[in-house]
Amino acid sequence: MEILRVASRSNPNSVAGAIAGVLEQDGVVEVHAIGAGAVNQTVKAIAITRRLVEKSGETPIKVIPGFIELEIDGETKTGIRFIVER
């Protein structure tokens, strides 16, 4: 499963395009976000992806959110993981 990482400065339209591309290829993608700004951009991107998928007539997407612990620079950080699937 491909993992996309989203930052608070990420463009939601670009992230949505990446999510849609991976969904088209694999049918499932995991998106990681650490911090309120990154989670905000991720949720916007998922909403845009949903709109894109519905306009193309494909099966609606399903999103499963959850917590994840990641090690960054030797520090453990808690983030949000979104599993997006068709």
Per the CB < 8 A criterion, the answer to whether 19 and 43 are in contact is no
What is the reported pTM?
Answer: 0.91
Please state the rounded mean pLDDT for residues 36-65: 93
Per the CB < 8 A criterion, the answer to whether 22 and 2 are in contact is yes
2-85: CATH superfamily: Alba-like domain (3.30.110.20)
For 36, counting Cβ atoms within 10 Å of its Cβ (0-12 exposed, 13-18 middle, 19+ buried), the class is exposed
pLDDT at residue 8, rounded to an integer:
96
78: CB partners within 8 A, 6+ apart: 34, 67, 68, 69, 70
Give DSSP secondary structure letters for 30-46.
EEEE-SHHHHHHHHHHH
How do residues 57-86 score in pLDDT, each as one tens digit?
878 899 999 999 988 899 999 999 999 998
